Structure 1
Amino acid sequence: MPAGPVTAPAPAGPTEAALLAFVRRVAADDALVSSLPLDPEGRTWLRLAGPEGSEAWLIGWPPGTGTGWHDHGGSRGAFATARGTLTEHALAARLPTEGWKTLQLADGIDRSRRLGEGRGRAFGPHHVHEVLNGTPDEHAVSVHAYYPPLPLMRRYSRTGDVLRLEEVERPGEWE
């Protein structure tokens, strides 16, 4: 009897959609969001238990703060804004993860979106972006979840269409 089509097994852990549902649900929890202490000068965070072994964070963003360009070391993820407005700048291209220090980016790969309260987005394991609170006088708060838990984060600098790998951070260096 001939074998049927071979399908790849589903990846372990929560899907991108499940991570997005989780961050939206947590972002709507006013009591939890209000419990995060906010610092007028630096980001604050609280580690949360994410679904199915994922890593999750509640993050406070003072006006004018951001992450800088980074990726999530091969983890898929999602984030949602609980308070305020965040802006995400992302690259709509899959970048190689190894073997380069500087890349010339092609035209047309930049994406930008504003995420107000209750809005979120999910992303795959090769997502490169920066997240900013560009408002001059309002804190923002967001919820983030990643699976598998972040093995590393690559940090980049960007000048025009040139992206440069600056450093690789391991867990414990950002906690």
Structure 2
Amino acid sequence: MSVSTPASPLASAPDSAAAPPAPASARTAAPTAAELLDFVRRSAADTELVASLPLDPEGRTWVRLAGPGGSEAWLIGWPPGSGTGWHDHAESVGAFLTAAGTLKENSLAARLPTDGWKTLELSEGIDRERELGVGEGRAFGRNHVHEVLNESTTEHAISVHAYYPPLPRIRRYSRTGEVLRLESVERPEDWQ
């Protein structure tokens, strides 16, 4: 199996690791965020699946999973000190859950405008922080701005993520104090 470290923290896995999407005729209604959370919970509990992920001490590793209802799903390994940076998943709803180790999620508890801005000054009290140990995770809605980190200096973390619709784009942000700045917009063709 070929697993590589992405240049971009949320880049797609190589085609050799990708599971084929479900045929259109096999799909039913779009999965909800709650259904995605149930899927990542069941996947994270699969000890054989979690143990099959090769871990790299220098960069994140990942394997594409067959998500429910045509969703995009990933098993991701996080080396000590790694993270995603601030980003959102645009129009996709999603869920993720820690299968091994501990992850931290910093997020914004407000809906931001989706387009037409480059810099926003955030209000006080908007920040949320969650520490997610084994078996802990969350679902989130469209345009959810967050960053995910493995703050351990010695231990890998592993998590399962699912998104629907499959990621149409990822907006990346930088943050200085209360100022959030849109830095780039990535689309699936940028991750190939």
Query: TM-score over 0.5 for the alignment?
Result: yes
**Does 1:21 pair with 2:38?**
yes
**Does 1:40 pair with 2:57?**
yes
Q: Which residue number corresponds to residue 166 of structure 1?
A: 183
Equivalence map 1:65-144=2 (5 Å): 65-144=82-161
Q: Which has the larger radius of gyration?
A: 1
Deviation at 1:73, TM superposition (A): 1.5
SS at match of 1:23: helix
Deviation at 1:97, TM superposition (A): 1.0
**Residue 67 of structure 2, aligned match among 46, 50, 53:** 50
Kept in 1, the 8 Å contact 2:90–2:144? The answer is no
Per-residue Cα deviation, 1:8-33 (whole angstroms, up to 9, x for no partner): xxxx4111110000000000001111
Per-residue Cα deviation, 1:40-69 (whole angstroms, up to 9, x for no partner): 010001011100000000000000000000
Matches of 2:178 and 2:104, distance apart in 1: 19
Matches of 1:101 and 1:144, distance apart in 2: 28
Letter in 1 for 2:87: H
SS at match of 1:144: strand
Matches of 1:135 and 1:143, distance apart in 2: 18
Q: Percent same amino acid among aligned pairs? A: 75
Aligned CA RMSD, in angstroms, stands at: 0.8
Structure with greater helix share of residues: 2
In structure 1, list runs of 5 or more residues that go unmatched: 1-11
TM-score, scaled relative to structure 2: 0.84
TM-score, scaled relative to structure 1: 0.92
In structure 2, list runs of 5 or more residues that go unmatched: 1-28
- Number of aligned residue pairs: 164
Letter in 1 for 2:162: A
The structure 1 segments of at least 4 consecutive aligned residues displaced by more than 6 Å after TM superposition are: none
Matches of 1:172 and 1:160, distance apart in 2: 32
